[in-house]
């Protein structure tokens, strides 16, 4: 050990005796902001969290899948039918293009099925019994969560097969039945009892008879609305809902060579595309407003057009008869409302399919004290409970946007509230998180990485078969797509903070939950870490002086 002449020569690292943390007026803290994808998901998935797992590849896929399953038992279905509001809100959309969250979810869902991943109940049996009315997305989701929470669940469905609108409303070419069956089977494997062809005439009676401690109603809106259109005796008019339902039967319905579908929603598109596959030479959608005003999602319109479906905008049907119908041209007034012009036109049509909305048969809740109905749907409070204690409802039969994802979300919410209600406990509210806005990001660090496109079936095959039109991503592409996620507001271990601190005051711990910690003994509060965090997971807060 060499001599150190007084004061001239110093030991290495002796500066650590100087705790420069005392200089600070503000300190950095790691935060977990709520990214817009997670915030937007109607099923309440923490999208960013499962993308974090998925992007690790290998074992990460199953971890990601399990995270999704904590909130949503239908990832493979979602990956095909969800309208992905997460992608609409995705912050990456402001950079280049939104992350293909939906395609990654589909990949994970398909992996789950292919590899036979299972889920278990989270707690021992509670001894409570819950009745779920309707084996559609909402009912099955509720059943799944309730079963995981230890309750004995029985599902009644009036129809011959389980699945609700997933089977009877969404065509095969959008949601192959084997995928649907596999995901429903997984729910039933948790011990959920299913009774098909079991109509509920009076919910209160069935509740008592079955000894159920609570009920979740999820019968959906399974009746097509009928509008009054003057019709001749030879007119062949049917509603889209019935048409699509009948596709699950043995005999495909006969629609003729020219089919007109009246309406502008997704059901209208499904009906038209189905008609084409059934052999119609022409399938024409007649809609009273314009394409921009169509409630149908634009990509569905695109796919329909690619398949040769024709669109007739700004038109209403005034008369229908055998072989033809009369269409009146409309024009939009200043408020965007269509007004008749008086100009009429004849259109050849062998059948007319009405896709003008759906409604519910609510007779089975007649006389339930306290239960209120308004505008054809059942009112529920913030716990998804109706006016009758212990009877909850969700899905298309309560006021909501009518999508599978919303329905699934209702099922989860209701299940959690039912669970709390059964235990006479309060549901612990989730921690409020600040939103992760685009402005919190430092986008410099993200590379140019254009979004992946999903493969599509060639046009010829689309028109003649019910094979799935939109394919999935292969593994490497799904992985790439998951890695496009900016991880808004949540650390993904990029090491930036660890690297950019001039005072070496960030400690790298490794690990997922707390990958780094600030060394407040030395942190001077300069804020470079917060400024250079790509995803905005660091916030500067005033120091308590």
Partner 1 sequence: MSAEKLKLYQVGTFAVGNRLLDPEQRTVQARMERSNTLTSGHRACRGCGEALGARYALDAAMRATDGRLIAANATGCLEVFSTPYPESSWQLPWLHSLFGNAPAIASGIAAALKVKGRNDVRVIGQGGDGGTLDIGFACLSGMFERNDDVLYVCYDNEAYMNTGVQRSSATPPAARTANTKPLGDEPGNVFGQGKSAPLIAMAHEIPYVATATVADLHDLEDKIERAMEFHGARYVHILVPCPLGWGSEASETIKIARLAQETGLFPVFEAEAGEVVAVSPIRQRVSVEEYLRTQRRFAHLFGDPPRADVIAQLQSRADRNIRRFGLLAEEAA
Partner 2 sequence: MRSQLEGSLAVAKAVALCRPEVISAYPISPQTHIVEALSDLVRTGELAPCEYLMVESEFGAMSAAIGASAAGARAYTATASQGLLYMAEALYNASGLGLPIVMTVANRAIGAPINIWNDHSDAMSQRDCGWIQLYAESNQHAVDLHVQAFRLAEELSLPVMVCMDGFVLTHAIEPVELPTQEQVDAFLPPFDPRQVLDPDDPVTIGAMVGPEAFAEVKYLMHAKQMQALDLIPDISGSFSQAFGRTSSGLVRTYRSADADTIVVALGSVLGTIEEVVDELRGEGERVGAVGITCFRPYPLEEIRAALRGARRVIVLEKAFAVGLGGIVGQNVRLALSGHAVSVYDTVAGLGGRPITRRTLRTLIADVLEERLEPDRLAFLDLDWKLVERELQRVSADPRSGPHAENILRDIGSVAASAHGGAR
Chain positions contacting partner 2, by CB under 8 A: 1-12
Binder among 49, 492, 518, 539 for partner 1 (CB under 8 A): 492
Q: Shortest approach of partner 1 to residue 406 CB, angstroms?
A: 30
Binder among 73, 79, 525, 536 for partner 1 (CB under 8 A): 525
Q: Shortest approach of partner 1 to residue 113 CB, angstroms?
A: 20
Q: Shortest approach of partner 1 to residue 464 CB, angstroms?
A: 17
Could you tell me the two tokens for 286? 């007649």
> Which residue, 38 or 154, has its beta carbon nearer to partner 1?
38
Instruction: Return the SS3 of 520.
Output: coil
Which region, left, alpha or beta, applies to residue 413 given φ > 0 means left and ψ of -120 to 50 means alpha? Answer: alpha
Partner from partner 1, partner 2, none contacting 432, C-beta within 5 to 8 A by type: none
Partner from partner 1, partner 2, none contacting 445, C-beta within 5 to 8 A by type: partner 1
The DSSP line for 446-478 is SPP-PPP---B--HHHHHH--S-SB-PPPHHHH
Question: What interhelical angle do 47-54 and 59-71 show, nearest 10?
Answer: 160
The answer to whether the beta carbons of residues 388 and 370 sit under 8 Å apart is: yes
Partner from partner 2, partner 1, none contacting 5, C-beta within 5 to 8 A by type: partner 2
Q: Shortest approach of partner 1 to residue 454 CB, angstroms?
A: 8
Per CB under 8 A, which of residues 402..461 are in contact with partner 1? 444-450, 452-457
Please state whether beta strands 538-542 and 26-30 pair in parallel, antiparallel, or not at all (unpaired): antiparallel
Instruction: Return the SS3 of 160.
Output: coil
Q: Hey, which residues does 215 pair with through a beta bridge?
A: 131, 391
| Residue-level length of the chain | 545
Q: Shortest approach of partner 2 to residue 10 CB, angstroms?
A: 4
> Which residue, 429 or 502, has its beta carbon nearer to partner 1?
502
Phi–psi pair at 343, nearest 5 degrees? -85, 125
Cα end-to-end distance, the chain, whole Å: 44
Phi–psi pair at 407, nearest 5 degrees? -60, -45
Q: Shortest approach of partner 1 to residue 453 CB, angstroms?
A: 6
Question: What interhelical angle do 137-148 and 404-422 show, nearest 10?
Answer: 40
471 lies in the binding site for partner 1 (CB under 8 A): yes
CB atoms within 10 A of CB 463: 16
String of contacts with partner 1 for each residue 41-80, x by CB under 8 A: --------------xx------------------------
Measured CA to CA, the distance from residue 426 to residue 382 in angstroms comes to: 13
CB atoms within 10 A of CB 258: 18
> Which residue, 11 or 513, has its beta carbon nearer to partner 2?
11
> Which residue, 11 or 544, has its beta carbon nearer to partner 2?
11
Part in contact with partner 1 (CB under 8 A); list of ranges 78-86, 145-153, 197-205, 524-532: 524-532
String of contacts with partner 1 for each residue 1-30, x by CB under 8 A: ------x--xxxxxxxxxxx--x-------
> Which residue, 14 or 428, has its beta carbon nearer to partner 2?
14
Q: Shortest approach of partner 1 to residue 471 CB, angstroms?
A: 6
Q: Report which of 252, 306, 314 is spatially closest to residue 283, judged by C-alpha positions.
A: 306
Q: Shortest approach of partner 1 to residue 480 CB, angstroms?
A: 5
The answer to whether the beta carbons of residues 338 and 286 sit under 8 Å apart is: no
* Residue carrying structure tokens 């010829």: 460
Residues 6+ away with beta carbon under 8 Å from 335: none
> Which residue, 381 or 514, has its beta carbon nearer to partner 1?
514
Where does this chain bind partner 1 (CB under 8 A)?
A: 7, 10-20, 23, 55-56, 444-450, 452-457, 471, 473-474, 476-477, 479-480, 483-486, 492-496, 498-505, 508, 510, 515, 519, 521-522, 524-528, 530-532, 534, 540
């Amino acid at each position: 050990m060499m001599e150190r002449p007084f004061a001239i020569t110093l030991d290495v690292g002796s500066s650590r005796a100087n705790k420069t943390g005392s200089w600070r007026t503000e300190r950095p803290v790691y935060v977990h902001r709520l990214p817009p994808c997670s915030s937007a998901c109607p099923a309440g998935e923490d999208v960013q969290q499962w993308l974090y797992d998925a992007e690790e590849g290998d074992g990460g896929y199953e971890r990601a899948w399990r995270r999704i399953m904590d909130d949503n038992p239908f990832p493979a279905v979602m990956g095909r039918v969800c309208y992905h509001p997460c992608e609409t809100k995705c912050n990456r959309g402001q950079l280049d293009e939104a992350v293909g969250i939906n395609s990654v979810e589909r990949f994970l869902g398909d992996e789950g099925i292919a590899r036979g991943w299972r889920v278990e109940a989270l707690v021992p049996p509670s001894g409570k019994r819950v009745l779920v009315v309707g084996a559609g997305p909402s009912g099955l989701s509720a059943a799944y969560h309730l079963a995981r929470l230890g309750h004995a669940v029985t599902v009644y469905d009036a129809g011959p097969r389980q699945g609700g609108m997933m089977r009877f409303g969404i065509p095969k070419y959008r949601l192959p039945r084997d995928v649907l069956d596999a995901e429903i089977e997984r729910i039933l494997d948790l011990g959920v009892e299913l009774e098909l062809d079991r109509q509920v005439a009076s919910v209160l009676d069935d509740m008592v008879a079955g000894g159920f401690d609570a009920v979740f109603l999820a019968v959906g809106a399974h009746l097509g609305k009928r509008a009054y259109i003057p019709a001749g005796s030879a007119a062949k008019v049917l509603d889209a809902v019935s048409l699509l339902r009948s596709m699950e039967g043995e005999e495909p319905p006969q629609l003729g060579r020219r089919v007109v579908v009246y309406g502008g929603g997704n059901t209208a598109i499904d009906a038209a595309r189905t008609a084409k596959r059934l052999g119609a030479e022409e399938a024409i959608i007649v809609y009273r407003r314009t394409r921009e005003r169509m409630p149908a999602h634009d990509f569905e319109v695109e796919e329909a057009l690619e398949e040769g479906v024709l669109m007739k905008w700004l038109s209403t049907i005034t008369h229908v008869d055998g072989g033809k119908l009369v269409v009146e041209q409309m024009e939009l007034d200043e408020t965007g409302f269509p007004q008749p012009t008086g100009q009429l036109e004849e259109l050849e049509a062998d059948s007319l399919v009405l896709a003008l909305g759906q409604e519910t048969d609510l007779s089975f809740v007649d006389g339930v004290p306290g239960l209120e109905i308004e505008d054809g749907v059942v009112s529920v409070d913030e716990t998804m409970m109706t006016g009758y204690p212990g009877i909850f409802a969700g899905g298309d039969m309560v006021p909501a946007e009518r999508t599978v994802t919303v329905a699934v979300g209702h099922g989860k919410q209701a299940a959690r509230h039912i669970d709390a209600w059964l235990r006479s406990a309060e549901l612990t509210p989730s921690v409020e998180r600040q939103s992760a806005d685009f402005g919190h990001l430092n986008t410099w660090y993200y590379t140019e990485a254009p979004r992946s496109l999903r493969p599509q079936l060639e046009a010829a095959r689309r028109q003649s078969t019910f094979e799935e039109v939109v394919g999935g991503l292969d593994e490497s592409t799904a992985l790439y797509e998951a890695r496009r996620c900016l991880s808004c507001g949540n650390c993904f271990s990029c090491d930036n903070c660890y690297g950019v601190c001039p005072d070496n005051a960030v400690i790298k711990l490794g690990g997922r939950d707390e990958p780094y910690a600030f060394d407040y003994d030395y942190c001077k509060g300069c804020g470079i870490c917060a400024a250079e965090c790509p995803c905005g997971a660091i916030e500067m807060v005033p120091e308590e002086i």
